Amino acid sequence: MSEPWWQSAVIYQIYPKSFCDTDGDGVGDLAGIRRHLDYLRWLGVDAIWISPFFRSPMKDHGYDVSDHCDVDPVFGSLKDFDRLLADAHARGLRVLIDWVPNHTSDEHPWFVESRASRASARRGWYVWRDGTPDGPPNNWRAAFSDAPAWTWDERTGQWYLHLFLPEQPDLDWQNPEVVAAMHQTLRFWLDRGVDGFRMDVVHCIGKDPSLPDLPEPMAKLPACVVNDDLRTHGLLRGIRSVLEEYPGDRVMVGEVYLLQTRAVARYYGRGDELHLAFNFPPLYAPWQAEAWRDRIAEVADAMDPRGAWPTWVLSNHDNPRQRSRYGNEARARAAALLLLTLRGTPFVYAGEELGLEDAVVPSARRRDPGGRDGCRAPLPWEPGPLHGWCSAEPWLPWPPDAQKRNTAVLRDDPGSILHLYRRLLAARRHSPALSLGTLDLLSTPEGVVSYRRECGDDVRVVAVNFASDPRPFGLSGSWIVELASDAVGEGSRYRDGLATEQALLLRPA
């Protein structure tokens, strides 16, 4: 049996508000994504994941869904989505959408009805509880603030749970009607032909119905980063069985926001829960060899015995971009080589291929309650005042250097980071060792991480120098530099050492 497509794929995340605006309202749209599909083909990614574009009051920029089965007018219409999907498929690009199962918007008709009265038929679709004499039902904290994860509803005299904003009430997945209704929302998009889902904070859908207090010191953390209830696993198996009603290896990629890789690995079940799960500890690791060696080893230890296929991600719409975190382009380039040669499915966040830094967002232009505007800056496509957008002023400021750091300018420069990403994607696609092979960490001098990838007789070695000076690193055998993060020495023999902050992809001579 051949491997499912998503195992050898590279998935490109699009934050739709920031990708490309075609109607002049300052916010990106589905037509803007469609306009740039040929660019994505040229780049060489296999699939796109589009962050939420459903109807939403946008309190959390689309992660507060008020209709799972329609497109918010700011992004276009269902017809625009169907066109986008058809054009993507015609180019061999698969499309994942972002499904938000843990909560809805408080403006979703389900919640409006639930909140109307204690006797409402949908009261039990959300998590309503009486309080304690001291206030909320338990000590859980919401994300984005230090506030309780509960809001008091004056009219019906109870509290409702929200692990995120008060405008994002949590659904009660213990209620079979909720399960059935949410399964229907999956079928709605599966019927339209989507190839899979990124599932937002999916580890939170199962909760202990007694909602016990969290012990100290966990109680200081937002409940969404510690909720790890066994009930979720049964719910995931149910969701998986919906995907399996459809042909073509539809994929579920879970955002499991638990910061221990071993805990994340459990959400793959016995091959019957998530196909892929985000594992964030590497994203939060500093740019240091020891930290990265540990993270890579930890992934192998936690995932391999279960037959779980890892994922790798360095940036997304929730975290500062890697170019900003690591501090310079040399490191961002070395990180690209690392990301795209590790064992597992890599995710590239739109704009990282341009080496974008976070935008500096003055307080008057801040939009996100979670302080994540910088990494959500609009993508510059061209030099000039509009950068390929149809609007004079996009919803967030442009990232730094947009005159030079845009797809048009970097495409004309074969030495650019954009071309590095493209060459890495091509190298990965053409090498079974890189796309599907085993990974073995090699012993290295301080400051260097190296691993060997192997599949049949296809072999590659990757070496990354995290240090800010050159490092010797001898390898037995004779090797050719296939790709260098700084493009130096490609095609020539490897000379047992790495330049400052350089990463190399080597093939046998």
Binding site for ligand GLC (CB under 6 A): 60, 63, 100, 164, 200-201, 255, 257, 317-318, 370
In the residue annotation, 200 being an active-site residue is answered as yes
Task: Single out the residue of 39, 38, 43, 21 nearest to residue 30, CA to CA.
Answer: 21
Nearest approach, Cβ of residue 134 and ligand GLC (Å) = 27
C-beta of residue 311 within 8 angstroms of C-beta of residue 253 = yes
DSSP 237-289: HHHHHHHTTSSS--EEEE----S-HHHHHGGGTTTTS-SEE---HHHHS-S-H
Q: Which is nearer to ligand GLC, 46 or 255 (CB)?
A: 255
Give residues with Cβ within 8 angstroms of 335, minimum separation 6. Answer: 287, 314, 322, 326, 503
3-state secondary structure of 184: helix
Nearest approach, Cβ of residue 102 and ligand GLC (Å) = 7
Nearest approach, Cβ of residue 324 and ligand GLC (Å) = 18
**Residue 316 DSSP code:** -
Among residues 21, 200, 357, 358, the one annotated as catalytic is 200
Question: Would you tell me how many other CB atoms lie within 10 Å of the CB of residue 355?
Answer: 23
Nearest approach, Cβ of residue 98 and ligand GLC (Å) = 8
- Which spans in 91-169 are helix H? 109-116
Q: Phi, psi at residue 117, to the nearest 5°?
A: -165, 155
Q: Which is nearer to ligand GLC, 162 or 422 (CB)?
A: 162
Nearest approach, Cβ of residue 316 and ligand GLC (Å) = 7
C-beta of residue 334 within 8 angstroms of C-beta of residue 464 = yes
C-beta of residue 150 within 8 angstroms of C-beta of residue 211 = no
Nearest approach, Cβ of residue 375 and ligand GLC (Å) = 11
Please give the residue whose beta carbon sits closest to ligand GLC in the complex: 63
Q: Which is nearer to ligand GLC, 102 or 465 (CB)?
A: 102
Among residues 3, 245, 290, 413, the one annotated as catalytic is 245
Where do we find the tokens 């047992």? 496
Distance of alpha carbon 128 from its chain centroid, rounded? 31
Q: Which is nearer to ligand GLC, 80 or 200 (CB)?
A: 200
Q: Which is nearer to ligand GLC, 258 or 332 (CB)?
A: 258
Known catalytic residues are 200, 245
